[in-house]
Amino acid sequence: MQLDLSALPTPAELEQYYIPFPDGRPAARIGLRLSLYFRHLGEAELRKSLVRCIEHYLSLAGDRIMLYSFANDRQYRKLKPGQHVDPEKLLAMINPEKEFEFDASAADEGFATHWALSAMSSQIKFREDELGYMLAYLPFTALENAPTRSFTKYFLHLCNVLAVEHAYGGMGWVLPFDLGGHNGALNLPEFAQQAWRFCALDVDDPSGTMLHCRDGIKSINWLTAVSNRLLERVGGADAVARMAGHEIIVHPYSNGSVFQAGANPQIGDSYQGLIPPAYLALGKALKPIRAAYKDTLLHAPTNYGPVPTGESPNKVFTQRWLARFDGG
């Protein structure tokens, strides 16, 4: 299925688009995504807040969730119609002596779905600078009858209660929630091409971001949260706002500031030279605190080049994608 931007797609039309695996399963869809990274992983208060965030998301999903898993589960637990995730098992993860890992999805393994969540808050032994994460997807149509700014308010609420180090919200690619399906989608050459073309659609691999972005942001999205600790390196939120210009809206949260790149989230189309100016302005302003991501996020398209001798095409392409809003 081709994504035709000659006529502005409706939210429902965008939700129908997907990039397939070779066997036809949906590998990547377009939807709303929230990816949040935070510290203080062993603290009970942080874990309580994270459990409440998960419970709230599951309440939004209603009866759609089909599979879920906790740390050390060898296979996903299936829910029958009308069943829900056991709240007692969620509450048990508050104990700092327990591993905190949780996944839930409205589709089988290996299928991209607009209702899926993944969260981790340390595997018992953790370092002070280690990051945990919560990644959640939503369909556009989930907000059809919602009040104005509902998505922004939801993102700000999550940033507040988790006191995030950095976080990203807006339009992006929705990938399978299980590890095999997630990595399989990132490895598809067609996905790399589409990710490069539709440059304002975010891509993330939480396991890589939590490892490589302990002292810097990954990139930007329509909503980009940055902690005060990181903002100090660029003169604070006011300095970023001045450099980025009048299209950037700043929202304070408990541990820093959220920068909003324009009135509405964008798709972008690098093939047509349609790079959202507000995204470019914000990316350039935050470039000094973009982390040195030292691994592969995206696999390069077929025959990608030129690539410097001895360099990995996948790592070169990853760096180019991460720098797409750096401003040259």
Q: pLDDT tens digit string along 177-206?
A: 888 888 899 999 899 999 999 999 999 999
Residue 5 lies in a domain: no
Q: 3 in a domain, yes or no?
A: no
Tell me the percentage of the chain whose pLDDT exceeds 70: 96
Indicate whether 117 belongs to any domain: yes
pLDDT band at 4 (very low <50, low <70, confident <90, very high): low
- Domain range holding 58? 11-322
pLDDT at site 179: 80
Cα separation, 144 vs 14, in Å, equals 14
Q: What are the CA-CA distances from residue 18 to residues 14, 120, 172, 274 (Å)?
A: 9, 27, 12, 21
**In the predicted model, is pLDDT for residue 5 greater than 80?**
no
**Confidence band for 126, pLDDT divided at 50, 70 and 90:** low
pLDDT of residue 6: 56
Percent share of the chain, pLDDT over 90: 79
- Report the mean per-residue pLDDT for the chain: 92
Task: Report in angstroms the alpha-carbon separations of 42 from 122, 125, 134, 204, 235.
Answer: 7, 9, 15, 24, 30
Asked if 89 and 66 touch (Cβ cutoff 8 Å), the reply is no
Q: Which tens digits make up the pLDDT trace of 45-99?
A: 999 999 999 999 999 999 999 999 999 898 999 999 999 999 999 999 998 888 8
Is residue 2 included in any domain, yes or no?
no
Residue 293, token pair as written in the block: 């991501």
Side-chain-facing half-sphere of 75: CA atoms under 13 Å: 3
Residue 27 scores a pLDDT above 60? yes
pLDDT at 34: 98
- Cβ–Cβ < 8 Å for 26, 111: yes
Convert 155-186 to b/e letters by CB count within 10 Å (16 or more is b): bbebbbbbbbbbbbbbbbbbbbbbeebbebbb
In a domain, 166, yes or no: yes
List, in order, residues 6 or more apart from 126 with CB less than 8 Å away: 41, 42
Cα distance from N-terminal residue to C-terminal residue, the chain: 33
For residue 23, is pLDDT > 70? Answer: yes
Q: Per the domain annotation, does 105 fall within a domain?
A: yes
Q: Which residues pair with 133 in a beta bridge?
A: 37, 120
Residue 20, H or E segment:
strand 18-20
DSSP 293: -
What burial class does residue 108 get, using C-beta atoms within 10 Å of its C-beta: 0-12 exposed, 13-18 middle, 19+ buried?
Answer: middle
Q: Residue 212 — pLDDT band, cuts 50, 70, 90?
A: very high
Q: Is residue 1 part of a domain?
A: no
pTM of the predicted model as reported, rounded to 2 decimal places: 0.95
Residue 183 lies inside a defined structural domain of this protein: yes
- Total number of domains constituting the chain: 1
